[in-house]
Amino acid sequence: MTTLKLPEKQPWMKTAVELPELPWAKNALEPVISANTIDFHYGKHHNAYVLKTLELTKGTELEGQPLEMIMVVAAADPSKKGLYNNAAQVWNHSFYWKCLAPCGTVKPSDALKAKIEKDFGSWEEFRKQLIAAGMTQFGSGWAWVVIDGDKLSILKTPNADEPWGETQAPVLALDVWEHAYYLDYQNKRQAYLEAVIDNLINWDFVEKQIELHKS
């Protein structure tokens, strides 16, 4: 059972239950992630989570509520595990798309590099740990970079679980469900992770999340 607790001091967390527009064209991540994968991943999987969340909340006290509120309520009630799974997957995917940018277009700033080197020892160690988190997540799930206070760390979550905590917030998400990479990489999850980390991360977005959540 998740221990999701969204800080009340962050009123900006009011995500609508909807399929958001992608921040780039469907073919913009090629050759790392194909337009075909985006068609299935975004157009079918992500959209299915949205539709199921709307279906499960229709006619209940949660209908029309922000996605984060639905997640909090569902996480606290074992009978709503299915609702939590779908709502969290909507949130996770919407965040994941923002973490990506067209191939090679966004480089980490000197300040971000210095922060990562301070918290992980080196950029190479950070990359190694992030890939390891994605590779050691058995089955479906996510690899995350999170900030807690002023410290960055890496963790993984199974299935739809996300890493929110009272003081902890995600700044980068990597989807390691098979539908994120199988059409392009088959069973080569590590090749997918390496290619995404080295070419597609929107480091500007990551840095903004760090600034937003650090204390």
* pLDDT, tens digit, 9 for 90 and up, residues 51-102: 999 999 999 989 988 899 899 889 999 999 999 999 999 999 999 999 999 9
Say which CATH topology domain 35-98 has: Helix Hairpins (1.10.287)
Same-fold call for 35-98 versus 110-213: no
Dihedral (C-alpha) 96, 195, 187, 141: value to the nearest 10 degrees?
Answer: -30
204 contacts 184 by C-beta, under 8 angstroms: no
Q: How many helices (H) and strands (E) does the chain have?
A: 9, 3
Which superfamily, per CATH, for 110-213? Iron/manganese superoxide dismutase, C-terminal domain (3.55.40.20)
* pLDDT, tens digit, 9 for 90 and up, residues 13-35: 678 999 999 999 999 999 999 99
By DSSP bridging, strand 141-148 and strand 151-158 are antiparallel
On the question of pLDDT at 1 being above 50, the answer is no
* pLDDT, tens digit, 9 for 90 and up, residues 126-167: 999 999 999 999 999 999 999 999 999 999 999 999 999 888
Q: Quick one: the chain helix, strand, coil %, rounded to 5?
A: 50, 10, 40
On the question of pLDDT at 7 being above 80, the answer is no
- The proportion of the chain whose per-residue pLDDT surpasses 70, expressed as a percent, equals 94
Domain layout of the chain by residue ranges: 35-98, 110-213
